[in-house]
Structure 1
Amino acid sequence: MNASEFFALPPSLARFAPFFPADVPPWEWLKKIGLALASVEYGHHALAIPPGVHLEGKVWLDRSVRLPPYATIIGPAWIGAGTEIRPGAFIRGNVIAGEGCVLGNASEFKNCLLLDGVQAPHYNYVGDSILGNKAHLGAGVICSNLRLDQGEVVVRLPAGPVGTGLRKFGAVLGDKAEVGCNAVLNPGSLLGPRALVMPCTPFSGYLPAATIARSRTAITTLPRRD
């Protein structure tokens, strides 16, 4: 299972391409976020920083980023063009966001990669996770990243369980994947492109592309769209 089965790194993040090869398991990208950010030359911000926005450490903001009256951004962090950061957002290190994303109000982001057009607009936790192009989280969605026994996160694939070597690993969402309000993605969840988890659903394991998870036992295939 390779990253290319879930998403493609967009042109806006081409500078990071050496760190995120398409032919490795997608969770391997999580291990490279810090290295990718270390390759950035951080300079002065070209946009005005509102008094209530706290910046700490190495933070790169495109001049077209929309900042709220108050938020906390702790580096290293790289935020791409046209991305909107909403009030109360807490970005706390090792975060890369591409173009046109929404990092929502009262939402927390940590060690994550958001490709272009990601929407995480309301009360979300995105930790140790990768969200593909135009992936969307409904209000209150949690990407849980730590097992209760704090052991290694193992992904449950159709061919059998696979160790990731990670103690913290939230979720991988393919391009245009959708997660409904107040759903919980348990550690090591994998959602293929256009996969959909219904609201208030606790999900674990692997959800293939273009399928719907309605509960732990009900999965429906979506019709094809041209």
Structure 2
Amino acid sequence: MTALDPATQPPRPLDVVVLAAGAGTRMRSKLPKMLHQVLGRPMVAWSVRAAQQLGARDIVVVTGHGAAQVEEALAPLGVRFARQEAQLGTGHAFLQAAHQLRGGADVLVLYGDSPMLPASTLRALLDAHRSGHNALTVLTSELPDATGYGRIIRAPGGEVLKIVEEKAATPQERLVREFNSGVYVMNAQAPELAERIGNDNAAGEYYITDLLALYRQSGSRVAAFRIADPGEVMGANDRVQLAELENIMRARINEAHMRAGVTIQDPATTLIEDTVTIAPDSLLEPGVILRGETRIGEGVTVGAYSVLSDCVLEDGVTIKAHSVLEGSYVGRGSDVGPFARLRPGTRLGEGVHIGNFVETKNARLHGGVKAGHLSYLGDVEIGQETNIGAGTIVANFDGLNKHQSSIGAGVFIGSNSTLIAPRLIGDGAFVAGGSTLNKDVPEGAMAIARGQQRNMEGWSRRYWQGMGEKVGQKLPWLASWLAQHPGSDH
């Protein structure tokens, strides 16, 4: 039988262990450290996402402090969990996960509080591990001052000999600039060797770094993969470091969009989550926040201090300043704002105009609809080229249930009108300003629903005269006018 060439064999599967059991006391928070967010995603979820991008077979997250909350937050991501009930060190944490691994795979160890590490770096680490036929490869980098980190100690020829923790390092070893990131790739022997980690140290804990010595004792090859940017392995132990991480990640994302053809006028005040897509030749003014699955087409302008979450903006849309859009679709060439709010379920057709202080919710506005000022449009469909006057309210809630209304095409709704849902307004209808409608309006009809005006001569003068001296004290112009127009007693 001819031996199989290892180079032609498919790569071994990859299992990932994410260590996320730490208490994070320096966060000074009731929220578990791993759930503090960086750019809209819990810190630990960034590590899970990187593992998923690598095509991991199994992902096991080790939980401890706030375990129930962390597991609830990550459950939708399809990962498995291992509990570390007692905080006995990183080696002990890894062992809890190792008991759940199926075996026969390379094992990548990540930390839940290091969201900066991109999948591209991890992929390069994995490739170096496999091409070098290593048993263990540790990810390292260099700092001018590596105080606080474990040091990578090498032989004169470059071979990795050991990892020395800060407390145990000699003065000479503390001068070493290459540090241990805590990220490892190991072969399938890792779970077995982890059973042999001891706790004969000052802290009485089980350290995952001991695996390096155990691999060397077994005659296996260990190596280090050094990266140029130490910032990629930065973690967050308090809220100051958390803010630093977010600023770095924001800058990365903003730079990528600008290099792809997007104009960002003030990157320092612009926040774009990594799930957002933006086509070239769009413009973001200062203070813009883009979240979730937002997709922005070409030639779009998003005005200053606008906030968009899970929205689609087609080509040529203009969002004016201080507008808030959630779960909405805005058709080609439409404009929204300033100070407008589009709530979930809003769909605007092409060329729709939504002006200042207009709010929509679960509303479908067809092409050419105009709602310029101070209106609420909830649970309604509005036909093309209809005009919604200032102050129009679709009263969709009866205290218990929401009701749907329909306004046809080419309708004119006069200012300060109220439509008590459910209402049907036919095509081409006209609603007189100030009307309150509790009946449907047929196609082509005009509806007037307001009380008849009645002018009561002299009523105002008599009212103010009855107020006595208070009028002179607070309203001197009116007191003078009353003196000049005393009227009659009748």
Same fold (TM over 0.5): yes
Candidates 165, 180, 187, aligned match of 2:421: 187
Identity %: 28
Structure 2 distance, partners of 1:180, 1:124, is 12
Indicate the SS of the match to 2:342: strand
- Larger-gyration structure (1/2): 2
Structure 2 distance, partners of 1:207, 1:51, is 40
| Structure-2 change in CA distance of 1:61 and 1:214 (3 Å) | same
| Structure-2 change in CA distance of 1:195 and 1:217 (3 Å) | farther
Residues 63-83 of structure 1 show CA distances to partners (whole Å, capped at 9, x for unaligned) of: 2111212200011x1100111
Indicate the SS of the match to 1:200: coil
More strand as a share of residues = 1
Structure 1 distance, partners of 2:404, 2:392, is 12
Shift of 1:125: 0.2
Residues 97-152 of structure 1 show CA distances to partners (whole Å, capped at 9, x for unaligned) of: 0011111200100001001111111001000000001111110000110124x2xx
Candidates 56, 59, 62, aligned match of 2:311: 59
| Gapped regions of structure 1 (runs ≥ 5) | 1-40, 151-166, 219-226
Q: How does 1:77-226 map to 2 (within 5 A)?
A: 77-148=328-399, 150=400, 167-215=401-449
Is it true that 1:72 corresponds to 2:313 in the alignment?
Answer: no
Structure 2 distance, partners of 1:80, 1:97, is 5
Shift of 1:45: 4.4
Indicate the SS of the match to 2:302: coil
Structure 2 distance, partners of 1:213, 1:49, is 38
- CA-atom RMSD, angstroms? 2.0
One-letter amino acid of the structure 2 residue matched with residue 50 of structure 1: G
Shift of 1:48: 4.3
Structure 2 distance, partners of 1:80, 1:64, is 9
Shift of 1:170: 4.6
| Gapped regions of structure 2 (runs ≥ 5) | 1-292, 453-490
Structure 2 distance, partners of 1:81, 1:48, is 12
Which runs of 4 or more aligned residues in structure 1 lie more than 3 Å from their structure 2 counterparts after TM superposition? 41-46
Q: 2:420–2:438: 8 Å Cα contact kept in structure 1?
A: yes
Q: 2:411–2:427: 8 Å Cα contact kept in structure 1?
A: yes
Structure 1 distance, partners of 2:414, 2:303, is 32
One-letter amino acid of the structure 1 residue matched with residue 442 of structure 2: P
One-letter amino acid of the structure 2 residue matched with residue 103 of structure 1: I
Is it true that 1:50 corresponds to 2:311 in the alignment?
Answer: no
Q: 1:104–1:124: 8 Å Cα contact kept in structure 2?
A: no
Residues 1-58 of structure 1 show CA distances to partners (whole Å, capped at 9, x for unaligned) of: xxxxxxxxxxxxxxxxxxxxxxxxxxxxxxxxxxxxxxxx9645433433311012x2
TM-score normalised to the size of structure 2? 0.31
Q: 2:384–2:410: 8 Å Cα contact kept in structure 1?
A: yes
Q: Give the number of equivalent residue pairs.
A: 159
Q: 2:434–2:450: 8 Å Cα contact kept in structure 1?
A: no
